[in-house]
Homo-oligomer: A and B are copies of this chain.
Amino acid sequence: MNGMLKGFLILSIIIAFIAFGFAVWLYNWVKRQPATNEKIHGIGELIRKGANTFLTKEYTILAKFAFVVAVLIFVFLPKPLWDGDLGDNLLMNLQMVIAYLAGTTFSAIAGKIGIQIATIANTRTAEAAQKGIRLSFLNGFRGGAVMGMAVVGTSLLGIALVFLLTQNSTLLLGFSFGASSLALFSKAGGGIFTKTADISADLVGKVELGIPEDDPRNPAVIADNVGDNVAGMGADLFDSHVASLAASLVMAVALDKLVLGGNHVALIFCYAAIGLLSSIIGIAFAKMGKNDNPTNALNTSTYLTTGIFAVLTALATLIFEFEWRMYFASVLGLFVGVIIGIATDYFTDDRKKPVQNVAEASESGPAFTILSGVSYGFLSVLPAMIGIAVSALGAYLICAPLGFDTASKVTYGMFGISVAAVGMLSIVGMIISNDAYGPIVDNARGLAEMGNLGEEVVEITDKLDSAGNTVKAVTKGFAISAAGLTVISLLGAFLSEVNDAALERGLAGITSFDILNPMVFFGLLIGAAVPAVFSAMLMLGVNRNAERMVAEIHRQFNEIPGLKEGKVGVMPEYDKCILIATKGALKELIPAGLFAIIITIVVGLTGGVYAIGGFLTGNIVSGLILALFMSNSGGLWDNGKKYVEAGHHGGKGSNAHKAAVVGDTVGDPFKDTAGPSINTQITVVSLVSSLLAVIFLTWSIF
């Protein structure tokens, strides 16, 4: 390892620790804020307890899952134990097991920290709202930032440590697989939990009984608030961040072997470290100006982070003599990411035509809410797909000329795409902060309502919440695009792994995945079906689970005397609802995840590496389409409902409102369960393929 690389590795680790330190400072800052209102404190405690119950049960199950996978890895990966020298294999496979388990552990820790802070920040934000919007905003934002720092810090630290200790890029894929598989289940499980609770609470509360949102009489209200906290915030971005680093490093290692004095690995760590540093600075300076609004404050700090990253990486490129082409690839990625975010915003912003048209269509009934929402959701895929296509093509064309022959041009081109992904994800610390801000202020709104803090305070939290929704749309577009670029570069990593394995075995390597190769096409068609089936399984899970919970809510309203009437001192049994959501989520999350993994293995064992090349491509393409469609329609319906509630088309209680609520209910699992889980599903499938490259190469039937 050369000095420069070692330097950047250590720098990455140091910056990761700075991020942790900053997170601790933010955490303490939030914790120090006054928490004097007993009622709020009490409810906050219930929420925290519920979240911890869920998390403990979830992690217990996932630990068992991870154990089984670890055993399988030990036997099979990177090479089956009996394939070659047993001693070597034992050692190597053990390392892989450790990398995998480290990935799951890091992912679990980041998740735990996020929930920890979210369940503190929510009460502080609610109480701070009594002193004005600016302080309240700061509480919510800094709470979210703890999550952002924790996630990106652990991600960068983990990757840097694995690389520093082993210099083996396949182990990075193992680490990434650990992180992603846990993220997949967190996202899917949390997604099912949160939407089960949300839908059930709304259905019985708002629709049947006509009691307001967050009314403490509703037995599902605590579960609903718990759900916001355990929805696996940031898990999809964590997963993309780790995977983009792993994918780019796999190719960087290959290039460093190829090119004398190559500094590709160093570049990746340098850019990633600068990305985290930029986010730290952006977060530190974020606050609402005097006459500012929260949306602006969030956006300003995002643009600030972007600017800092662009300038600092330019400086680093100059000083350390990195290739400028790679700099441009990374800036292109970042730039396109922001553009896609803005385009996504168009479809979910209530000042723009789509949301307003959907709200208007709601006057004709729910069928029109759905039809127009689905239509705009379908339309919304176009700008993002063009953006991803252009950035991938651009990054490839920018970097390919660095190669000196056909094969190395391809490698450089694919590496360019991965650098664009790293660039796009450089500001992920900032993005996750914005993303995590949403549920905190959403919770704060609920607490303000349940704690009777008064209309003015609820209004303030409402404003903060609305800003969260707007920014969320942008971050989601961003997250999906980043995942898109990441998985394209994982395709490059897969190729790299296959060729390494082929070389070792004296087999012919692969230089292309030709669409006209029937195996590739075979994989393509099946891979394309997977995201649809995967999201169907999750949504059916939410449906089934919500049915159970609705039955429980009905039971409580019927059996607990005085509950419906709001008799003083009568409390619903909140914990029973939490338990149902928890059990149901855990029951439903495993089949969907396993389906995705198992069908990958079946296709690989049937059609070999070519089929997998097609499979991944089909998976990426249809996954992106469906994820964009579902996230954007969901956001659109949510804001459409809010738009009607703000007094348009008859306002609350009107027919348009009823129709808009149907749209919102459909959109909930679209945008919070299925949509974002698809990202993670694609990454996991890509990583499984890369890890099993050897097995697919040697064991497949065809």
Whose C-beta in chain B lies nearest to the C-beta of A536? Answer: B378
* Residues A410 and B516 in contact, CB atoms below 8 Å apart: yes
Indicate with 1 or 0, residue by residue over A378-393, a CB within 8 angstroms of chain B CB atoms.
Answer: 1101100110111011
Q: Is residue A547 within 8 Å, beta carbon to beta carbon, of the partner chain?
A: yes
Indicate with 1 or 0, residue by residue over A351-385, a CB within 8 angstroms of chain B CB atoms.
Answer: 00000000001001111101110111111011001
Q: Is residue A11 within 8 Å, beta carbon to beta carbon, of the partner chain?
A: no
* Residues B529 and A516 in contact, CB atoms below 8 Å apart: no
Q: Is residue A278 within 8 Å, beta carbon to beta carbon, of the partner chain?
A: no
Indicate with 1 or 0, residue by residue over A531-553, a CB within 8 angstroms of chain B CB atoms.
Answer: 01101110110110011001000
Q: Is residue A629 within 8 Å, beta carbon to beta carbon, of the partner chain?
A: yes
Indicate with 1 or 0, residue by residue over A502-531, a CB within 8 angstroms of chain B CB atoms.
Answer: 000000000111111111111111101100
* Separation of A613 and B617 alpha carbons in the complex (Å): 14
* Separation of A251 and B308 alpha carbons in the complex (Å): 57
- Shortest CB-to-CB span from A136 to chain B, Å, is 32
Chain B residues positioned under 8 Å from A537 (CB to CB): 375, 379
Q: Which of A141-149, A488-496, A642-650 contacts B (4 or more CB under 8 A)?
A: A488-496
* Residues B666 and A371 in contact, CB atoms below 8 Å apart: yes
Chain B residues positioned under 8 Å from A536 (CB to CB): 374-379
* Residues B385 and A529 in contact, CB atoms below 8 Å apart: yes
Q: Is residue A203 within 8 Å, beta carbon to beta carbon, of the partner chain?
A: yes
Chain B residues positioned under 8 Å from A417 (CB to CB): 518
- Number of this chain's copies in the complex: 2
Chain B residues positioned under 8 Å from A535 (CB to CB): 375, 378
- Shortest CB-to-CB span from A616 to chain B, Å, is 9
Q: Is residue A120 within 8 Å, beta carbon to beta carbon, of the partner chain?
A: no
Q: Is residue A414 within 8 Å, beta carbon to beta carbon, of the partner chain?
A: yes
Chain B residues positioned under 8 Å from A511 (CB to CB): 514
Chain B residues positioned under 8 Å from A10 (CB to CB): none
Residues from 607 to 622 in A contacting B, C-beta threshold 8 Å: 607, 613-614, 617-618, 621-622
* Separation of A575 and B649 alpha carbons in the complex (Å): 31
- Shortest CB-to-CB span from A666 to chain B, Å, is 5
> Sorted from nearest, which 9 A-B pairs have the closest CB atoms?
A367-B665, A378-B536, A396-B518, A512-B514, A389-B525, A385-B529, A378-B532, A513-B515, A393-B522
The 29 listed contacts between A and B (C-beta, < 8 Å) are A361-B547, A364-B546, A364-B547, A365-B662, A365-B665, A367-B662, A368-B543, A370-B370, A370-B662, A370-B666, A371-B543, A374-B539, A375-B540, A378-B536, A381-B532, A381-B533, A385-B529, A388-B525, A389-B521, A389-B524, A390-B522, A392-B525, A393-B607, A396-B518, A484-B525, A512-B514, A512-B515, A515-B613, A622-B625
The interface of chain A, by Cβ under 8 A from chain B, is 199, 203, 207, 361, 364-368, 370-372, 374-379, 381-382, 385-386, 388-390, 392-393, 396-397, 400, 410, 413-414, 417, 484, 488, 491-492, 495, 511-526, 528-529, 532-533, 535-537, 539-540, 542-543, 546-547, 550, 607, 613-614, 617-618, 621-622, 624-626, 629, 661-662, 665-666, 669
